[in-house]
């Protein structure tokens, strides 16, 4: 269905779409849009059949929503449902796509590099492998605010040096200047949090069950690579900026490699957003529940406007503003 729509969509020159990762889920997401657009429920049905459990029920009841093996397929499906509504309403085809962590898979489905059915199966497995790589309670993540990237790296190195053989802690997400998420062994994450506060930074523990994007995920990545090899992947029809290097893959082997590495390497979101600005992007649309990425984008010097589209009113605002900005309507 969306293939034809994507072919028919007017091409944007100043707009990029970004797809959120874990932490953006909320109970009851997309309920309002589902009443207006049948494609929302249809998308959830298609994805639920692939994984063999009811993703819409989890999204609406919240039961098991924060378990990563559920969070990941639910969020991906929600993002693709919004993408399909956008195209159905005559929205433009963005110039670039990028997804934060799990969101990279949503971006690849939107760009038709993989099918929704294959992607939800992959991210369900990704969640299971991530959860089994680190026993509950042994890993943690925290946001460090107000310190430079280099300072956060230095604090992590210091903690690792003091705890040889007792786990590790690393910078996991470079989200924006002065906002870095760390991940690793619980005790070491807490140590870096305490040190960051002493350096006049802020530290906020994140409510996650798994420390993503750090060395502790390497065993999961090795198993995950096998599943990726079995999955049909094509080059995206819209360029997708990759988390691991803030670049665009030029062949499918690179794409697979980047998705494997993404599990245990840091998310280069600051660099990805810089790449968009360097390419003349002025408008950013967050295609998923919530406003985490659009709020980050609003702070960037060359981004004129950033939109969330997770309600009917927000979707309509973004549609008309971007059609005008792209010169598609007066």
pLDDT tens column, 34-81: 999 999 999 999 999 999 999 999 999 999 998 999 999 999 999 999
DSSP-derived secondary structure letter, 28? T
SS3 content of the chain, % helix, strand, coil (to 5): 50, 15, 35
Phi, psi at residue 244, to the nearest 5°?
-75, -30
Q: Which two tokens stand for residue 130?
A: 């991530």
Q: Does the annotation count 213 as an active-site position?
A: yes
* Whole-number Cα distances in Å, 143 to 104, 174, 181, 183: 20, 10, 4, 9
Residue 266: left (phi > 0), alpha (psi -120 to 50), or beta?
beta
Quick one: pLDDT at residue 103?
98
In the chain the beta strands, taken as DSSP E runs, fall at: 15-19, 96-99, 139-145, 169-176, 179-185, 202-205, 240-241, 267-268, 283-286, 305-308
Q: Does the annotation count 101 as an active-site position?
A: yes
Catalytic residue among 106, 212, 213, 266: 213
pTM of full prediction above 0.85: yes
Catalytic residue among 79, 101, 185, 212: 101
Q: Distance between CA atoms of 32 and 16, rounded to whole angstroms? A: 25
Phi, psi at residue 287, to the nearest 5°?
-100, 85
pLDDT tens column, 244-295: 999 999 999 999 999 999 999 999 999 999 999 999 999 999 999 999 999 9
Domains and CATH numbers, the chain: 2-133+216-325 (3.40.366.10), 139-208 (3.30.70.250)
Phi, psi at residue 99, to the nearest 5°?
-135, 140
């Amino acid at each position: 269905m969306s293939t034809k729509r994507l072919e028919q969509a007017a091409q944007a020159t100043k707009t990029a779409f970004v797809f959120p990762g874990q932490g953006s889920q909320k109970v009851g997401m997309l309920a309002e849009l589902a009443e207006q657009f049948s494609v929302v429920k249809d998308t959830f049905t298609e994805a639920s059949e692939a994984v063999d459990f009811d993703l819409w029920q989890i999204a609406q009841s919240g039961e098991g929503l924060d378990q990563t093996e559920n969070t990941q397929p639910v969020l991906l499906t929600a993002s693709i449902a919004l993408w399909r509504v956008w195209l159905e309403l005559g929205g433009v085809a963005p110039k670039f796509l990028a997804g934060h962590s799990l969101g990279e898979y949503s971006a690849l489905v939107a760009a038709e590099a993989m099918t929704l059915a294959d992607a939800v199966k992959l991210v369900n497995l990704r969640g299971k492998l991530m959860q089994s790589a680190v026993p509950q309670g042994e890993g943690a993540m925290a946001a460090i605010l107000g310190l430079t990237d280099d300072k956060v790296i230095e604090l992590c190195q210091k903690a690792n040096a003091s705890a040889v053989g007792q786990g590790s802690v690393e910078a996991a997400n470079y989200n924006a200047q002065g906002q870095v998420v760390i991940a690793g062994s619980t005790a070491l994450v807490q140590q870096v949090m305490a040190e960051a506060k002493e350096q006049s930074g802020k530290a906020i523990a994140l409510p996650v069950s798994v420390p993503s994007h750090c060395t502790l995920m390497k065993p999961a990545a090795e198993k995950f690579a096998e599943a990726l090899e079995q999955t049909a992947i094509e080059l995206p029809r819209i360029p997708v900026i990759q988390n691991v290097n803030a670049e665009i893959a030029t062949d499918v082997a690179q794409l697979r490699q980047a998705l494997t590495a993404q599990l245990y390497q840091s998310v280069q979101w600051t660099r990805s957003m810089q790449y968009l600005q360097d390419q003349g992007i002025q408008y950013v649309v967050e295609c998923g529940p919530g406003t985490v990425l659009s709020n980050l984008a609003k702070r960037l010097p060359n981004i004129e406007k950033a939109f969330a589209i997770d309600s009917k009113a927000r979707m309509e605002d973004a549609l008309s503003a971007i059609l005008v900005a792209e010169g598609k309507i007066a």
